[in-house]
Amino acid sequence: MKNIARFKTKLTDLLGISHPVLCGGLMWLADAKYVGAVVNAGGMGFITPRSFSGLDTFRTALKDCRKITEGKDFGVNLYISSRPHENDKLPGFIETALEEGVRIFETAGASPKAYLDILKKSESKILHKVTAIKHALKAQEIGVDAVILVGAECGGHPGENLIPSFVLGAKARQHLNIPMIIGGGIGTGEQLLAAIAQGADGILMGSRMLVSKEIWAHRDYKEHLIKLDENNTSSVLSTFGNIYHCLDNDTAKAVAELELSGEADFEKYRHFVQGTLQKQAYETGDYNKGLLSMGPAITFANSIELAGKIIEDIVEDAYGAYLQLSENVIHLDQRSTRIKQDEKNAF
Ligand SMILES: Cc1cc2nc3c(=O)[nH]c(=O)nc-3n(C[C@H](O)[C@H](O)[C@H](O)COP(=O)(O)O)c2cc1C
């Protein structure tokens, strides 16, 4: 792979990476092999600590990733719950990551405020992922290094107001002075260029990357994904104020039916929403099992490829689109010549 840097932005400077491309944390899936491949391709990826059975296996993944990247920096995803008791494991994740030399964190969910001191003391870079402008502004105010804005199109949790990525990005650009990244529904080079043209410093992808060869999930799951288009995802669980964007499979359909019937007792949903079902689906390839995070950007995934190839194609396509766009722009001198010609023709 060529891995030629085409775009220099505040994000590439902040993280010391070749391409303004982040691949967000993927529960169960963002392990050493996948994140290492993303980093080696010139982007930045984030290992998800909650995917591991304990701190020991998490530490092993960090060491493995360090080996795969030959010492290059890689990131860790910290999901922060708004229910404090669910964050019991976070201090252990942070301590282990810092001990293993990790200095780049993608925080998501609730505010990272409680963890900023320890992360800042170690000179870590904190990129906070949000779904609303007010949270982006708050994150800037408390001192994160960059904000990732993911819109309604994103796989997983798109927030409650379902604001599209381009609206979020354009609005955020008017108010943020720290680097900002747009995510949600992104999977092509033209979109990367459009995001940068819009004032973003980079993009973040999740769904598009699920068909990467380095993603350990069963081949049947990936074979299914490459047949999908933008109509094959679904939004469920709005009943509980926690919208979830996932593959439109048998489980999502069953949950949607329960919601349509007006069922509001969470106990009736519990057996559908267990995270362990997702793991089983990835292990067995039975993609109808569990609610599997996914957004419509899956439509851009048409073959099972190396993560590095996906990233390189996106960057090269963005560059090609930029060159094409430059050709289409009518430059000032050409325009005045044309105006003069038009005036002449008028007489
Ligand atoms: C399978 C899957 C698992 C995810 N798990 C997490 C996670 O554990 N933590 C997190 O912050 N985001 C998670 N996300 C969200 C992604 O990091 C990213 O924000 C999102 O996928 C971007 O939108 P896109 O899917 O349209 O590219 C997940 C997304 C997917 C598709």
**Integer Cα distance of 299 and 248 in angstroms:** 13
Residue 233 has pLDDT above 80, yes or no: yes
Tokens 């190396």 belong to: 306
**Integer Cα distance of 180 and 195 in angstroms:** 10
Q: pLDDT band at residue 341, thresholds of 50, 70 and 90?
A: low
Residue 339 has pLDDT above 80, yes or no: no
Q: Give a yes or no: residue 279 inside a domain.
A: no
Domain membership of residue 84 as a residue range: 11-210
Return the H-helix or E-strand segment holding 46. strand 44-47
Q: Give a yes or no: residue 250 inside a domain.
A: no
Q: What is the pLDDT of residue 191?
A: 98
- Say if ligand 1 is within 6 A of residue 153 CB: yes
Domain count, the chain: 1
pTM for this predicted structure: 0.95
- Say if ligand 1 is within 6 A of residue 293 CB: yes
Query: Which amino acid, one-letter code, is at 99?
Result: E
Distance 245 CA to ligand 1 centre (A): 10
Distance 152 CA to ligand 1 centre (A): 12
- What would the pLDDT profile of 293-338 be if each residue is shown by its tens digit? 999 999 999 999 999 999 999 999 999 999 999 988 887 666 666 6
Q: Give a yes or no: residue 89 inside a domain.
A: yes
- Say if ligand 1 is within 6 A of residue 75 CB: no
Which atom of ligand 1 sits closest to the CA of residue 50? 8
Residue 3 has pLDDT above 90, yes or no: no
- The phi and psi torsions of 215 (rounded to 5 degrees) equal -70, 125
Q: Give a yes or no: residue 79 inside a domain.
A: yes
Q: Give a yes or no: residue 112 inside a domain.
A: yes
Q: Give a yes or no: residue 15 inside a domain.
A: yes
Q: What is the pLDDT of residue 207?
A: 98
Q: Give a yes or no: residue 4 inside a domain.
A: no
Residue 36 has pLDDT above 70, yes or no: yes
Q: Give a yes or no: residue 117 inside a domain.
A: yes
Q: Please, what is the Cα angle at 256 between 254 and 257, to 5 degrees?
A: 65
Which atom of ligand 1 sits closest to the CA of residue 148? 19
CATH of the domain at 204: 3.20.20.70
